[in-house]
């Protein structure tokens, strides 16, 4: 098995430099893979896929007619991120999430940023994620968004850019943890030799952060993970995280509000709940406050929350800041609250509600990526260079009818990684979703995160709901040495 | 004018409700022309949890929960109010052209009118559309004063639409009201708001009561009034001005304001969730009584024509 004949085709490659030499830190991996006997890598790839299926690491694609779960496709060659690069990313993400939290707190309270005219009021007040019932809320520590998954991409210039902020219920971290455990089994010796920063302590850090949110005076906080149920596309993750943290997994029907406090029905009667890690949309949480037709919610939850009797992570209403229209203003938001320049840049964005921008977008639909501001998961978008004339005409019509709901970005030459295709390697586009925990005292960024791969040749859409796959992401230590996560259960030496 | 208002909502269930949680928007807020001397919410059976909070628009909301089985729920709101009339409600809005108010709501200086901007955009029950700006357009020729234009719109709604209780429900979409030209006060208030927003103006939905006067010689019937709704437009420095399209009048002493919001969904008088209950029946009675202050002020009134 060799990388001979692998062609970067002019794209930025995460593993090879333009001359075809391994990038620093990747040489060890390349050498080991090249040394493998013929068909050995395929054998290990198959073994990894079988393990995924057996472990039940699956994903539900909503438009998929048979409604069955698929395994989340996994590629066996890890992506490598160098320590120096990671330091910048980590700093940039901390800066960004701090500023976005200031923004959310401000728009639901003093609205200074609107008074000062930094972000157009219309965009905020008419944003899909703006929740009127959240006005005046004061979450503990002023933190609204405790768990974030920010999508980064690397452009042809080798720079990282923020593509999207996911501030509601970002998913995917369970795949990071499972991918890691699979990789340790598949490449134990390379893993040990590469000095990879650990991810396996994520569940305990998450639990610690959640416990820190408990109302004052609670000594042994009771934490639960709230799932919409088994038909949710991320149900695997909900159960996985609950199990890893050792806390109950609940549905709406397991909770009720009694005397102003949130209680959980158990076989031993009602038990008080202090912190809810909710993986259910704002709209479905409390039928009394939000959507009256929600069958998944807990009536009275918002009243208990606003009285400070229970903590919610994330707080309701955070969606106002990950609206793709607001995204265009995040650099301004960072400058406004932190008086700093953004460390990680946005992808240049055309806002269709600005006349000049709209004109440009309509004239260049074949070159741009157009996104509906309130959709996620790769739904409702147009990738210009890969679209037909009819699709472009349809989007032009939609943009003219509703300019507020569309943005456009240049089609980025996303960086690529080698992916195993049958008996050889081919380049595929990737993004990176690191996870950020914002606790009362500190911000933690999980080293690495989910690397999503557009498995279809040439495709730029990496979303798992659109058939993307994933890879393990190895963030190397600055000093070298062996990986802190031990792989003592070596099964297959390398 | 001094009023005693009593608003009773009664739910009768065919089977017991084991637990209910509700949010009531029944206690009147204060306004520049309205003082609330006292107000009280009585819930039967007694709630386990009752708390009041002020929402994002300054309305008074009461949350309550009943945790014991019950076959009947009765919510009584009693308020004592003094309403004064603004002698010239339209004076300052007569001085300003409607376009200049619209201009204040967009562009760089829009944030000076932050409070009004919440009422400029689409809300859960009201979406701007061509249909509404086409209808409203006739009332808004260039440079007409805001007060005149909105008064004209109010008058047209009054003449063009038929008051028809029983034709629409809370869930009837505005486009249907527009097509059939029928509805009740809530629909007309929504329609006014939709028209004004479609013209680029900020408008809000006001919920409250109206004092009704009976034909001469008839006795006033206690409890036969009803809750009422109208709309209010933002007039820049002149503030907010109310218009009642159901009665074709600018509210003065006979309109009692309870709350305002972007549309009905922000200020529905009573909403909530009940577990169990089987079939249910609702009885609502509203009584707006002018308090006798010495002389023969206790005119009787009975009609239920205004809702």
Residue numbers in B near A325 (CB within 8 A): none
Task: Give the containing element (helix H, strand E) for B82.
Answer: strand B70-83
Among A240, A208, A201, A202, which residue's Cα sits nearest to residue A223? Answer: A208
Task: Give A332-349 pLDDT, tens digit per residue.
Answer: 999 999 999 999 999 999
Give the mean pLDDT of A405-433.
Answer: 91
Give domain status of residue A128, yes or no.
Answer: no
Check: CB of residue A375 under 8 Å from CB of residue A381: yes
**The pLDDT of residue A378:** 65
Among B5, B58, B61, which residue's Cα sits nearest to residue B36? Answer: B5
Q: Hey, of A125, A127, A257, which one would you mutate to test binding to chain B, going by the most B CBs within 10 A of its CB?
A: A125
Same-domain pairing of A239 and A301: yes
CA–CA dist A361, A448 (Å, integer): 34
**The pLDDT of residue A309:** 93
Contacts of A170 (CB under 8 A, 6+ apart): A147, A148, A149, A433, A435
> Lowest mean pLDDT: which of A45-59, A101-115, A307-321, B188-202?
A45-59
Give domain status of residue A260, yes or no.
Answer: yes
Would you call B63 exposed, middle or buried from its count of C-beta atoms within 10 A (0-12, 13-18, 19+)? buried
Give the mean pLDDT of B201-218.
Answer: 87
The CATH code of the domain that includes A263 is 3.40.50.11290
**The pLDDT of residue B300:** 39
**The pLDDT of residue A466:** 67
Contacts of A389 (CB under 8 A, 6+ apart): none
Would you call A36 exposed, middle or buried from its count of C-beta atoms within 10 A (0-12, 13-18, 19+)? middle
Smallest Cα distance from A400 to chain B, Å: 14
CA–CA dist A354, A368 (Å, integer): 16
Helices (H) and strands (E) in chain B, counts: 7, 13
**The pLDDT of residue A494:** 45
Minimal-distance CA residue of chain B relative to A306: B53
Give domain status of residue A368, yes or no.
Answer: yes
Number of domains in chain A: 2
Check: CB of residue A139 under 8 Å from CB of residue A104: no
Would you call B18 exposed, middle or buried from its count of C-beta atoms within 10 A (0-12, 13-18, 19+)? middle
Same-domain pairing of A300 and A358: no
Give domain status of residue A133, yes or no.
Answer: no
Please report where in the chains the tokens 């909301």 appear, as a residue: B61
**The pLDDT of residue B305:** 36
To 5 degrees, how large is the angle CA A23–CA A27–CA A31? 145
**The pLDDT of residue B306:** 40
Query: Domains plus CATH for chain B?
Result: 2-83+267-290 (2.60.40.2250), 92-218+226-266 (3.10.620.30)
Q: Flag whether residue A449 sits within 8 Å of chain B, measured between CB atoms.
A: no
Please report where in the chains the tokens 């472009």 appear, as a residue: A392
Give the mean pLDDT of A406-432.
Answer: 91
Residue A490 in this model has a pLDDT that exceeds 70: no
The CATH code of the domain that includes A365 is 3.30.1490.270
Residue A149 in this model has a pLDDT that exceeds 50: yes
**The pLDDT of residue A68:** 57
Give domain status of residue A406, yes or no.
Answer: yes
Task: Give A354-383 pLDDT, tens digit per residue.
Answer: 889 999 999 999 999 998 887 666 677 888
Give domain status of residue A233, yes or no.
Answer: yes
Instruction: List, as one string, the DSSP characters of A249-279.
Output: EE-GGGEEEETTEEEEEETTEEEE--EEEE-
> Lowest mean pLDDT: which of A138-142, A183-187, A212-216, A457-461?
A457-461
Six-digit token pair at B207? 């919920």
Check: CB of residue A234 under 8 Å from CB of residue A178: no
CA–CA dist A145, A318 (Å, integer): 6
Six-digit token pair at B169? 């429900």
Examine the fold and report which residue of A293, A309, A325 is the final residue of a domain before the chain moves on: A309
Among A90, A14, A24, A75, which residue's Cα sits nearest to residue A446? Answer: A90
Alpha helices of A294-383 — where are they, by DSSP H? 301-306, 324-327, 330-338, 355-363
Give domain status of residue A397, yes or no.
Answer: yes
Examine the fold and report which residue of A362, A384, A410 is the final residue of a domain before the chain moves on: A410
Q: Hey, of B18, B55, B63, which one would you mutate to test binding to chain A, going by the most A CBs within 10 A of its CB?
A: B63
Residue B118 in this model has a pLDDT that exceeds 50: yes
Question: How would residue A62 be classed by pLDDT, with cut points 50, 70 and 90?
Answer: low
**The pLDDT of residue B64:** 93
- Judge: B120–A303 Cβ closer than 8 Å, yes or no: no
Give the mean pLDDT of B90-98.
Answer: 85
pTM of the full predicted structure?
Answer: 0.84
Check: CB of residue A186 under 8 Å from CB of residue A492: yes
Minimal-distance CA residue of chain A relative to B49: A259
Residue A274 in this model has a pLDDT that exceeds 70: yes
Q: What is the largest CA-CA distance in chain A?
A: 69
Residue A492 in this model has a pLDDT that exceeds 60: no
Smallest Cα distance from B31 to chain A, Å: 21
Q: Flag whether residue B59 sits within 8 Å of chain A, measured between CB atoms.
A: no
Q: Flag whether residue B22 sits within 8 Å of chain A, measured between CB atoms.
A: yes
Contacts of A84 (CB under 8 A, 6+ apart): A478
Would you call A255 exposed, middle or buried from its count of C-beta atoms within 10 A (0-12, 13-18, 19+)? buried
Contacts of A221 (CB under 8 A, 6+ apart): A210, A211, A213, A214, A274, A275
ipTM of the complex: 0.70
Residue numbers in B near A306 (CB within 8 A): 53
Question: How would residue A63 be classed by pLDDT, with cut points 50, 70 and 90?
Answer: low
Residue B301 in this model has a pLDDT that exceeds 60: no
Give domain status of residue A15, yes or no.
Answer: no
Question: How would residue B302 be classed by pLDDT, with cut points 50, 70 and 90?
Answer: very low
Question: How far is CA B30 from each of CA A164, A266, B252, B265, rounded to the nearest angstrom?
Answer: 44, 46, 15, 21
Instruction: Note down the domain range covering A257.
Output: 216-309
Between residues A239 and A378, which one has the greater pLDDT?
A: A239
Q: Flag whether residue A265 sits within 8 Å of chain B, measured between CB atoms.
A: no
Examine the fold and report which residue of A309, A332, A365 is the final residue of a domain before the chain moves on: A309
Among A52, A47, A93, A1, which residue's Cα sits nearest to residue A343? Answer: A93
């Amino acid at each position: 098995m060799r990388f001979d004949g692998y062609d970067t085709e002019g794209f930025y490659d995460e593993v090879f430099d333009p001359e075809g030499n391994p990038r620093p830190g990747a040489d060890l991996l390349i050498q080991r893979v090249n040394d493998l006997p013929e068909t050995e890598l395929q054998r290990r790839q198959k073994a990894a896929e079988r393990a995924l299926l057996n472990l039940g690491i699956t994903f539900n694609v909503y438009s998929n007619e048979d409604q069955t779960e698929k395994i989340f496709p996994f590629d066996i060659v890890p992506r490598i991120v160098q320590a120096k690069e990671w330091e910048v990313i980590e700093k940039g993400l901390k800066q960004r999430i701090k500023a976005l939290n200031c923004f959310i707190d401000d728009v639901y309270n003093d609205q200074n940023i609107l008074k000062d005219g930094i972000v157009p009021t219309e965009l905020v007040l008419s944003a899909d994620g703006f929740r009127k019932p959240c006005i005046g809320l004061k979450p503990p520590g002023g933190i609204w968004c405790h768990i974030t998954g920010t999508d980064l991409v690397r452009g042809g210039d080798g720079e990282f850019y923020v593509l999207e902020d996911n501030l509601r219920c970002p998913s995917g971290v369970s795949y990071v943890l499972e991918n890691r455990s699979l990789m340790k089994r598949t490449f134990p010796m390379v893993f040990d030799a590469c000095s990879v920063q650990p991810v396996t302590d994520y569940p305990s850090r998450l639990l610690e952060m959640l416990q820190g949110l408990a109302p004052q005076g609670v000594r042994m906080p009771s934490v639960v993970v709230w799932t919409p149920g088994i038909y949710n596309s991320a149900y695997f993750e909900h159960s996985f995280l609950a199990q890893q943290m050792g806390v109950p997994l609940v549905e709406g029907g397991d909770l009720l509000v009694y005397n102003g406090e949130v209680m959980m029905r158990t076989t031993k009667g009602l038990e008080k709940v202090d912190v809810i890690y909710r993986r259910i949309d704002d709209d479905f949480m409390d039928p009394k406050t939000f959507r009256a037709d929600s069958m998944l919610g807990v009536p009275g939850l918002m009243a208990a929350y606003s009285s400070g009797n229970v903590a919610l992570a994330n707080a309701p209403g955070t969606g106002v800041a990950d609206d793709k229209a607001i995204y265009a203003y995040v650099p301004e938001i960072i400058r406004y609250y932190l008086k700093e320049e953004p460390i990680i840049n946005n992808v240049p964005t055309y806002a269709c509600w600005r006349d000049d921008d709209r004109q440009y977008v309509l004239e260049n639909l074949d070159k741009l990526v157009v996104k509906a501001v309130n959709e996620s998961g790769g739904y409702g978008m147009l990738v210009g260079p890969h679209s037909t004339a009819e699709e472009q005409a349809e989007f032009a019509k939609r943009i003219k009818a509703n300019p507020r709901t569309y943005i456009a970005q240049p089609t980025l030459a996303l960086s690529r990684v080698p992916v195993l295709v049958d008996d050889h390697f081919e380049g595929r586009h990737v993004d990176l979703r690191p996870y950020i925990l914002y606790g009362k005292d500190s911000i933690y960024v999980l080293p690495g995160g989910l690397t999503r791969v557009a498995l279809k040749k040439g495709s730029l859409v990496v979303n798992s709901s659109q058939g993307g796959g994933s890879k393990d992401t190895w963030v190397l230590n600055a000093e070298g040495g062996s990986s802190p996560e031990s792989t003592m259960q070596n099964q297959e030496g390398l | 004018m001094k009023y005693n208002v009593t608003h009773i909502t009664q739910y009768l269930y065919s089977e017991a409700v084991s637990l209910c949680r509700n949010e009531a928007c029944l206690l009147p807020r204060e306004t520049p022309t309205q003082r609330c001397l006292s107000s009280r919410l009585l819930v039967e059976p007694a709630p386990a949890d009752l708390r009041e909070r002020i929402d994002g628009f300054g309305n008074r909301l009461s949350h309550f929960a009943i945790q014991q089985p019950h076959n009947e729920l009765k919510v009584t709101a009693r308020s004592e109010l003094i309403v004064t009339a603004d002698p010239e409600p339209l004076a300052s809005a007569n001085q300003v052209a409607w376009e200049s108010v619209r201009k204040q709501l967009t562009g760089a200086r829009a944030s000076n009118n932050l409070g009004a901007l919440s009422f400029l955009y689409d809300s859960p029950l009201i979406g701007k559309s061509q249909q509404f700006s086409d209808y409203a357009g006739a009332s808004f020729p260039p440079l007409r004063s805001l007060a005149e234009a909105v008064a004209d719109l109010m008058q047209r709604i009054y003449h063009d639409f038929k008051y028809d209780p029983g034709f629409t429900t809370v869930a009837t979409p505005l486009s249907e009201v527009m097509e059939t030209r029928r509805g009740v006060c809530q629909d007309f208030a929504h329609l006014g708001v939709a028209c004004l927003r479609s013209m680029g103006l900020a408008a809000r939905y006001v919920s409250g009561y109206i004092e009704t006067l009976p034909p001469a010689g008839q006795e006033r019937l206690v409890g036969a009034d009803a809750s009422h709704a109208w709309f209010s437009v933002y007039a820049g420095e002149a503030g907010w001005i109310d218009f009642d399209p159901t009665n074709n009048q600018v509210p003065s002493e006979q309109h009692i304001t309870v709350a305002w919001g972007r549309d009905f969904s922000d200020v529905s008088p009573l909403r909530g969730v009940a577990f169990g209950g089987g079939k249910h029946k609702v009885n609502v009675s509203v009584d707006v009584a002018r308090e006798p202050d010495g002389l023969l002020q206790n005119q009787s009134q009975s009609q239920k024509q205004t809702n």
